[in-house]
Structure formats: structure tokens, C-alpha cells
Amino acid sequence: MKTFTFRLETLLQLRKNARDRALSDYADSIRDRESAEEEVQRAESYLEGLNVRLLAKSQNIFLGKDMLDFQEQIQKAKNTKSDLKNKLSRLSSIESSRRKVFIQKEAEFKSLDNYKLRMADEHIVFETNKEEKAQEDIITSRFVYNRAHS
């Protein structure tokens, strides 16, 4: 039986490499988004801590300068949290687009891989039929030969 060779093997490898790169990019974007989520959580915790400290200080008498310092810290923390949320939103959209790219590359690779499998199956069926036909021809020729010489 003749061995099967897939003529589009190079294209299949290129699609596999593109899929692997897209998967790597998608994984990187997930990691970046998760990191940004952690930064937002830390900013929220810091802001809550400032509010708790402000509430505790407001129970006692404290100077206007201290109050201004706390308000500046709270405002800075709010701005930082807002910036981090914007960054998280941007990273989430990047992750979504990279996911779409990965799904597309995966579909392209799978379709060509499935085509390769179908072609291999057709090759096996074709070669098997060819061998069976050759065997039938041999059997028929022997039968005719034996009949002619008997």
C-alpha cells in the first residue's frame, strides 16, 4: 500500500503555529486582566482603609490640616482606582478580541486537520480497493489458467 502524504502539510503547520501564537496571546491577555483585577482590588481595599481611618479619626478631635491630608489621600486613591478600572476595562476588551482571534485560528486549523483525516481515510479506502481488485485479478487469472490447462 502506498503511504499517505498530505500535500497541504505545510499549510497545516502554518495554521498550527498561528493557532499556538493566538493561544499564547490570549493567555497573556488573561494574565494581564487578572493582574489588573488584583490591582483594582488592592486600590479598593486601600480606599476602604482610608475611609475607616477617617471615620475613626473623626470620632476624636483632629486638625484641619490632618483632614486635608486625608481628603487628598482619599481623592488620590479614588483617581488611582478610576484609572485602574479604565485599564481593566481596556484589558478586558483586548482579552475578548484575542479570544475571538484564537477561536478563529482554532477553527481554521481544525477544518484543515479534519480535511487531512478525511483525505487519509479516502486514501486508505482507495488503496484497499485497489489491492482487493488486484487480488481478484490474480484469482481470476489463476482460475482461467487452471481451466485452460486442465
| 3 domain residue, yes or no | no
pLDDT tens for 99-118 read: 999 999 999 999 999 999 99
Amino acid code (one letter) for 31 = R
Q: Which domain CATH number covers 134?
A: 1.10.287.1700
Of 136, 145, 29, 44, nearest to 91 by C-alpha is 29
| 57 domain residue, yes or no | yes
Amino acid code (one letter) for 145 = Y
Provide the domain count of the chain: 1
| 76 domain residue, yes or no | yes
| 4 domain residue, yes or no | no
| 1 domain residue, yes or no | no
Q: What is the pTM of this model?
A: 0.76
Residue 62 pLDDT level (bands cut at 50, 70, 90): low
Q: What angle do CA 41, 42, 43 make, to 5 degrees?
A: 90
Q: Which domain holds residue 113?
A: 9-148
pLDDT tens for 9-45 read: 999 999 999 999 999 999 999 999 999 999 999 999 9
pLDDT at 46 > cutoff 90: yes
